Amino acid sequence: MKRLPDTELEVMKALWSTGPDTPRALLEDRLAPFCWAANTINTYLSRLADKGFVAVRRAGRSNLYTPLVGQEEYLAFDSRAVLDRLYGSPRNFVAALAREGMRRGELEELQALLDQLNGGQAK
């Protein structure tokens, strides 16, 4: 697996949010905030198809798009890649975030997750 560039990632995010066999129109809807030309979205979709990230299926006059790589799968891969690139460990990543200043609630959320990951049983 390879890390995706920012724009292609945005397209994947849209696809993940819409599920399989997403019609083109819906996809454009989800991507509307970016104000990309329709052709631009085309290019990103072709590239994603080339890379094996989405399947394109013809349905009548139009196309349906389906993500071939799941969100969970990609996030798992990407998060580890982030560590390898610069941080080395989750600890270092979170430490960097903390230095920048965590936002309201982020720390609590994280603590709650850790509690859960620890199996709930207190030490």
Q: Which residues of this chain interact with a second copy, rule CB under 8 A?
A: 6, 9, 13, 72, 75-80, 82-83, 85-87, 89-100, 102, 106-107, 109-114, 117-118
Instruction: List the end-to-end C-alpha distance of the chain, in Å, as a whole number.
Output: 37
- Tell me the DSSP string of 65-91: EEESS-HHHHHHHHHHHHIIIIISSHH
Answer for which of 16, 18, 43, 68 binds DNA (CB under 7 A) is 43
Which is nearer to a second copy, 36 or 87 (by Cβ)? 87
CB-count exposure of residue 44 (10 Å: 0-12, 13-18, 19+): buried
Question: Quick one: how far is CA 71 from the chain centroid?
Answer: 6
Give kind and range of the element (H or E) at residue 103: none
Tell me, residue by residue from 52 to 91, as one string, x for binding to DNA by CB under 7 A and - for no binding.
Answer: ----x-x-xxxx----------------------------
Answer for which of 31, 44, 53, 67 binds DNA (CB under 7 A) is 44
Answer for which of 19, 20, 32, 46 binds DNA (CB under 7 A) is 46
